[in-house]
Structure 1
Amino acid sequence: MNATVPVEVRVVHALTRRIRVVVPALARDEERLCLLEILLRKRPAVREVRGEARLGSLAVHFAPEEIGRDELVDAVAHIATALVRAPRSAKPAPTGVPDGPVRHVSLAIEGMTCASCAALIELSLKRDPRVRSAGVNFAAGTAAVDGWLDRDAVFGLIERFGYTPRPMDTLAQRRFLVEREKAQRESARKRFLAAAALTGPLMALGMAMPHHYGLRLLQFALATPVVFGAGRPFFEKAIRLAQQRGANMDTLIALGAGAAYLYSLPGLLPHRKTDFLYFEAAASIVAFVLLGRYLEERAKGKAGEAIRQLIELQPATAVVLRGGIELVVDAEAVVAGDLLRVRPGERIPTDGEVVEGASAVDEAMLTGESIPVAKAAGDRVIGGCLNQNGTLLVRATAIGRDTVLAHIVRMVDEAQNAKLPVQKLADRISSAFVPGVMGIAGATAGGWLLGGAPATHALAHAVAVVLIACPCALGLATPTAIMAGTGAAARRGIFIRNGAALETGAKVTTVVFDKTGTITEGRPAVAGWENRSGLPDGELLALVASAEHGSEHFLARALREFSQRAGVAADRPVVDFSAEPGHGIAATADGRTVLAGNAEWLARHGIDATPFADAVVRAGADGQTPVLVALDDRLAAFFAIADRPRTDAQATIARLHRLGIKTVMATGDTEAAARHVAALVGIDRVEARATPARKLELVRALQAAGETVAMVGDGINDAPALAAADVGMAVGGGTDVAVETADLTLVRGDLGKAADALSISRRTMRIIRENLFWALGYNTVAIPVAAAGRLNPMIASAAMAASSVSVVVNSLRLLRKG
């Protein structure tokens, strides 16, 4: 390319302290885009940079008092130009930060038993200078790490503390993890049953004749396999953490059970009478904790059921045609370009395009669409969907992590791993919880001893403090609710890209809707037209359809389809195509200048649209959208395009009003057409003739007035407003830019899902508040009661197990219908 010409940088939206830009030259160039992120981050005025390689987009947070917006855009263009021009081996390396692109590593972690485990791993990862950010989700058993280190290095950091990291990049790896989770739940069940089988008789013996020497030996024989057999993992993890100068819930359990067991050993000496045997307490501690862990794992399994159902959609095998021979191969072995045979009743192995055959495909699990979708040659199919009644020959177009299903699973993963602002307090408390409890237990023992109590009583009260304390309930309060909330949303076809949107969504007071394709069906059709060009109808339609070929707008599609139905091909050569969202398009088709859009668009090009003024008014009164066409700077034609409101639009708006949420419709359409549609569905306020900039201004004005704003849209012209809104919702089937900019995606465009999303957000935040109140209240009350000597160790361990389970069960209420 010309060294003097910078690469194109498009500003998608701009706020006071944040801009989003798209660099088309870096689309799908992850390496160069990561370098651009690093180099921008070195600038003092830049606070944060987030890139999206698929579109080549960047969200840049900056200090406006230190750098102007235009200056920042120029800096992006300058660096991007240097990166594009430089050979890959000669690309500039950043200084002051580790070399190379920032890598994202997602993984599962086995062996975490409490919130303190997650806090310890996360803190250790963040302390490594090669890690830019890290988050560990105890409830999901997963972690996400961004930094200048590869997966093996991340795994090494985690293994150092005795935990087992597992890859989860592909659906096959995720399926393996699901099977391991099932096996671990079964193992937990068996460990509890084994412990309970020995603890029951042991507790009965403890209430029998404690002075009988033979019964003491029998208690010892029953307690030992429970404490050091079923309870062995607690001691192993506690020892490993102690070696790393760490502590967690396993430390507390090992201390409590171990102290009770060791204190009872002197009672085994012959001819020594004692009333202080705690073998049954040591065993019951382990048994109750194992019961709690098993119930907790079962409940967490239910919370993550939605994502497991998504993972299990991909079939394990595929039928591939190679050399005319059908071969059954592992689904992960399919490569792009393979021809796949999909018979009735089989799931489609991966994303592709139908080459031969016709069938109906059930896409309900991925899209929420209950009616099967007809598919024929040339149609796109999504991996994981069920082929119903015909055999299809499909060419694979996307495989592995690039499929729609894999993208949705990652989106749900990222949302579930997100840490809401409300969780920060819980994290701070959890990180200091175990050392604090150990200090309180020591103070309890010391206080009782100083007060003249026997050592046995002091020990029992200290052990009760250790056992009743529960950081797990606190650590589970937020992530289990997020898991259940995102799972409930996914079941309804709502995929949450940004977990923090759950918290913001609960506060939404106003929803702004786009019209075409959002409030309306998005399938506009030409209802009438008039040709004043002097050209034959077929000639005019061919020029218009060809000129509109470069536009993805719904109105452009309606014009192309109208021409196609009239038997006119859009086959004229087109050059100099340009589009201005909200106004119209300009192009040169077959050597003739074509303009198509609204009256303002033509006026800006010096063309008077007055001859069609009456037609424009009539169209608006009927709720139709007028499109004016000019050829070679002369007014040529008028099209009236109609688009019916969605069948669920009126019910959705009424439901939002019942939730106390105000509604606004912003559209580039005429005032009359916009008000006609708004009146049909019951929307409160209308903003007509709204350009992308005006939609952005509207969102900002509402926010400045104290409103928390959600924006629902589907097109490029909605992207700035979607990004600026407190919560952006992209209607599925919309443009890539809209979907990538939004916080939530409403698959298949069921408008009622917008109300579902806000309702789920409110319920999720209510559950989180209930969980945090219970977890904090439980520990605030229980620890002093135990320190006061009002609880024995057995009851304390049972209460601790019950507290964690109650938090998870409360979160599962989100999965109920409604």
Structure 2
Amino acid sequence: MSTLNTLSLPVYGMNCAGCASKLQTALNEIEGVTSEVNFTLEKAQINFTGTSERNEILAQVINLLEAKNYQTDLQTFSFDVVGWSCANCAKKTVKSLANHPFTFNVNSNFATETVQFQTIDGAFNKQQLKALVDSISYELTEKQHKNFAQQQNSKQLAQQKRDKKVLTLLSISVLLSIPFMISMVMMLITGSHHFLPRTLEFLLATPVQFYIGARFYKGAWNSLKDKAANMDLLVALGTSAAYFYSLSILISGLDHPLYFESSTLVITLVTLGKYLEHRAKQSTSSAINALMALRPDNARIKKGKQFVTVNIDDVQVGDIVQLAIGEKVPVDGVVVEGTSYLDESLLTGESKPILKEIQEKVIAGSINGEGVLLIKTTAVGDSTSLSKIIHLVENAQMSKAPIMQLVDKISAIFVPVVLVIAALTFSIWYFTTGDFQHALINSVAVLVIACPCALGLATPTAVVVGTGVAAQQGILIKDIKTLQQAFRLQTIVFDKTGTLTKGKGAISHCYSTDNQNSVMLAELAAIQMGSQHPIATTIKDHCLAENITVASASDINAVNGEGIHGIVEDKQIIAGNLKMMQRFAISIPTDLNFSASESVVYVAKENEFWGLLSITDTLRESSIEAVTELKLRGLKTIILSGDKHSVVTDIAHKLQVDDSYSELKPEQKLAKLIELQQGNHIAMVGDGVNDAPALAQADISIAMGTGSDAAKESASITLMRNDPRLVALAIDISRATWHKIQQNLFWAFIFNTIAIPAAALGYLSPAIAGAAMALSSITVLTNSLLLKRIKIKDLS
């Protein structure tokens, strides 16, 4: 969940997007950090940029949150200590623990031989905690142990407690407001303001104003201490003006209308709106919650001849894990025994279970079918694909679009401007009509209607839902800039091998000048052993299938886009395309026959032509449909490949792409992409190391999920399964999300543009203004949640 450079922590108590913006500004003023605060996710991401002591910085962050009355989830670790001989030993232990970036409030008790420290909940996984404990000179034994389920359960219980408290307050507020609602209806029917006794109005309004509305006063006070203004200040000022004016009328005994119903209904409706908004925000994060729920708490690992159940954090790379029928896969690994169908739908979007046999990879979070498997662990904890997926989705949801910078600036001055408008509204009405009550109520309506929450929620809610929907379909979108760029795409550029084709070719023809094909294959495979190139994989798989014993090689060197050479049994072996042969001045016979659709690997020994292999790489079944779908969206399609011209031309013809370029080295791919980018927004789709430069250059880069790490690191979108049809789906989701952002911002701006003048002109009562303000935020959230209903074409 965390690295030593980044820490994500929950933040509770923010009432509006303006609070998040101001908190982010305050956090960024701490030396040595930059931060992103997301109101929708209720999270702050702290990026450590300086060389200052990070535990001191973290303490400053916690103190800042406390000063602003925000809360976060803290975790306390307590240990029994063996080996202390004096108080100085305890001090030494405290000092060692306090040196870690994510620890603070480290305390010890020499008499009881215990030590404890605090950290952000989730900052340490089991391996990181073990490494910290092992670094101490004394034996530390953890006194408390919470597994993942217990941690999640604790968070859920805490959230339920907060929800229950808010719901109780809301219920009390509604009950006290019902008489006012009835009174307002009767007033409309009879025209009388005296349906309720005045003393009863005061008794009903007072607990709502000061008990239910206490949160608004606290929020307003905190914002004033920060020399800022937020939504709480608007509500507190508006309702207080109505309440205290009515109280003064009541005390003076004047026969003027009271406005206790305005202050009461505004607080009730705003509280109701915030509660519904909170529940809707929880729904926006359903995708990430579903991914986190895939992580099991325990695993059965092999110890000697038995299988022992251990906590998931205790599993190590290389352990043999037993997977029973119906269980979630706890780790990334390779099947070493058994066969079974695994459901990877929540991870890759693949709807059909996938058969897993010996030597095939499995990923944490998959659900086992009807077979029992033994898995050799290759990745645990934060290194698993599941953890990386969650990390990518969280980062995307925390990111901000460039347009949000404008929104943040508007939100920063919005409340002060509204206060000025409210003051002008009161002044103009009072001095033109002389009616103090009317002037007051209109200015109160302005204060209440002008909530900037809808504006602040417009972008992050759409991003959270959109990236969540994409993740459920096996599409990982790195950041919000990608969503914005996808809206402008004009051209999609594909790599060929492993992207449009399966990348698992078959040797269709093998020829050696001395008729020793097996020997040539064995030596050729030897220099390819460290390569993950699809052609190398094909050669190695062929040798394995034919029981050809692979030789050993040394001094292996690859030439990007051309081939590879090395020493086998003291002789130089060279393999590659015609350019590779030309590089070593190797003469190729002219009477060799092979199909134009085949890739040819020429082989030379000691600078003499030795033979060749022709490899057929078949198209993916989905590639034709993928190109067709992109063309239906008005997008141009191009192939850039390092393969020979005849092979690329054949594939291009079958797919009916608009253009194709062949025999390109990585640097030539990059140059061609830069050329194509002139006045053109381009997405690049690739899977190999040689695609990384072009992927990094493209406006949007899309990597196939089983591609190289370099390709995925360079990519702004990663497809979790090798289906090029996901490219069109990724673009659809990106465009839909960007449309929602635009819609939300439009309606948020329009709402305030219309509502504030309407309130100032006297067309809205405070109660109606409160309802409309709450409705505006809920409307934006609901519009974002509609992204969940985007039509997804069945790709099975």
How high is the TM-score relative to the length of structure 1?
A: 0.82
Structure 1, 641-650 or 199-208: larger mean CA deviation: 199-208
Residue 650 of structure 1, CA deviation: 1.0
Query: Counterpart of 2:258 in 1: which secondary structure?
Result: coil
Deviations 1:769-808 (A, max 9, x none): 1111111111112111111222110011111111111111
Residue 593 of structure 1, CA deviation: 1.0
CA distance in 2, matches of 1:226, 1:407: 47
CA contact under 8 A between 2:183 and 2:196: conserved in structure 1?
A: no
1:366 equivalent among 323, 347, 365: 347
Partner residue in 1 for 2:492? 511
CA contact under 8 A between 1:168 and 1:174: conserved in structure 2?
A: no
Change in 2 beyond 3 A, CA 1:568/1:431 = same
CA distance in 2, matches of 1:401, 1:188: 35
Written as runs of structure 1 = structure 2, the 5 A alignment for 1:807-818 is 807-818=780-791
CA distance in 1, matches of 2:766, 2:569: 88
Partner residue in 2 for 1:48? none
1:768 equivalent among 715, 738, 741: 741
1:161 equivalent among 59, 62, 68: 68
Change in 2 beyond 3 A, CA 1:231/1:114 = same
1:701 equivalent among 675, 687, 710: 675
Residue 509 of structure 1, CA deviation: 0.5
Partner residue in 1 for 2:40? 139
CA distance in 1, matches of 2:691, 2:397: 26
Residue 393 of structure 1, CA deviation: 3.5
* Code of the aligned partner of 1:516: T
Query: Counterpart of 1:352 in 2: which secondary structure?
Result: strand
Change in 2 beyond 3 A, CA 1:531/1:274 = farther
Deviations 1:443-498 (A, max 9, x none): 22222233243222222111111110021111111111111211121111000123
Partner residue in 1 for 2:227? 245
Partner residue in 1 for 2:176? 198
Change in 2 beyond 3 A, CA 1:499/1:181 = farther
CA distance in 2, matches of 1:550, 1:525: 19
Residues 1:121 and 2:121 are matched in the alignment? no
Partner residue in 1 for 2:96? none
Deviations 1:279-320 (A, max 9, x none): 211111112112222222232222221111111111233345
Residues 1:557 and 2:533 are matched in the alignment? no
CA contact under 8 A between 1:185 and 1:297: conserved in structure 2?
A: no
2:643 equivalent among 669, 672, 681: 669
CA contact under 8 A between 2:350 and 2:473: conserved in structure 1?
A: no
Partner residue in 1 for 2:469? 488
Structure 1, 188-197 or 640-649: larger mean CA deviation: 188-197
CA distance in 2, matches of 1:274, 1:680: 87
Residues 1:715 and 2:688 are matched in the alignment? yes
* Code of the aligned partner of 1:648: S
Q: How many residues align?
A: 709
CA contact under 8 A between 2:492 and 2:636: conserved in structure 1?
A: yes
CA contact under 8 A between 2:328 and 2:366: conserved in structure 1?
A: yes
Structure 1, 439-448 or 336-345: larger mean CA deviation: 336-345
1:275 equivalent among 256, 266, 282: 256
CA distance in 2, matches of 1:722, 1:160: 45
Partner residue in 2 for 1:568? 548
Partner residue in 2 for 1:582? 561
Deviations 1:114-140 (A, max 9, x none): 111111101111222222x22111122
Query: Counterpart of 1:593 in 2: which secondary structure?
Result: strand
Query: Counterpart of 1:627 in 2: which secondary structure?
Result: strand
* Code of the aligned partner of 2:634: G
CA distance in 1, matches of 2:370, 2:692: 39
1:591 equivalent among 570, 579, 594: 570
* Code of the aligned partner of 1:144: Q
What value does the CA root-mean-square deviation take over the aligned residues? 2.4
CA distance in 1, matches of 2:232, 2:379: 44
Query: Counterpart of 2:479 in 1: which secondary structure?
Result: coil
Deviations 1:341-394 (A, max 9, x none): 321111122333445444332222111223333334544332211111122344
Change in 2 beyond 3 A, CA 1:377/1:630 = same
CA contact under 8 A between 1:137 and 1:143: conserved in structure 2?
A: yes
Query: Counterpart of 2:601 in 1: which secondary structure?
Result: strand
Written as runs of structure 1 = structure 2, the 5 A alignment for 1:32-431 is 103-131=5-33, 133-147=34-48, 148=50, 149-150=54-55, 151-166=58-73, 167-169=121-123, 177=155, 180-181=158-159, 184-185=162-163, 187-205=165-183, 215-269=197-251, 272-322=253-303, 328-336=309-317, 338-431=319-412
1:604 equivalent among 560, 568, 583: 583
CA contact under 8 A between 1:714 and 1:733: conserved in structure 2?
A: yes
CA distance in 2, matches of 1:445, 1:426: 28
Change in 2 beyond 3 A, CA 1:143/1:357 = same
* Code of the aligned partner of 1:680: K
How high is the TM-score relative to the length of structure 2?
A: 0.85
Partner residue in 2 for 1:779? 752
CA distance in 2, matches of 1:473, 1:624: 58
* Code of the aligned partner of 1:524: G
* Code of the aligned partner of 1:561: D
Residue 189 of structure 1, CA deviation: 4.2
Return 5+ residue gaps in structure 1 as ranges: 1-29, 31-52, 54-101
Residue 251 of structure 1, CA deviation: 1.7
Return 5+ residue gaps in structure 2 as ranges: 74-120, 126-147, 792-796
CA distance in 1, matches of 2:153, 2:706: 28
Partner residue in 1 for 2:700? 727
% identical equivalent positions: 37
Deviations 1:622-645 (A, max 9, x none): x21111111111111111111111
Change in 2 beyond 3 A, CA 1:503/1:236 = same
CA distance in 2, matches of 1:332, 1:175: 17
CA distance in 1, matches of 2:196, 2:399: 56
* Code of the aligned partner of 2:654: L
CA distance in 1, matches of 2:390, 2:283: 17
Query: Counterpart of 1:679 in 2: which secondary structure?
Result: helix
Query: Counterpart of 1:518 in 2: which secondary structure?
Result: coil
* Code of the aligned partner of 1:474: L
Written as runs of structure 1 = structure 2, the 5 A alignment for 1:617-696 is 618-620=594-596, 623-696=597-670
Structure 1, 112-121 or 227-236: larger mean CA deviation: 227-236
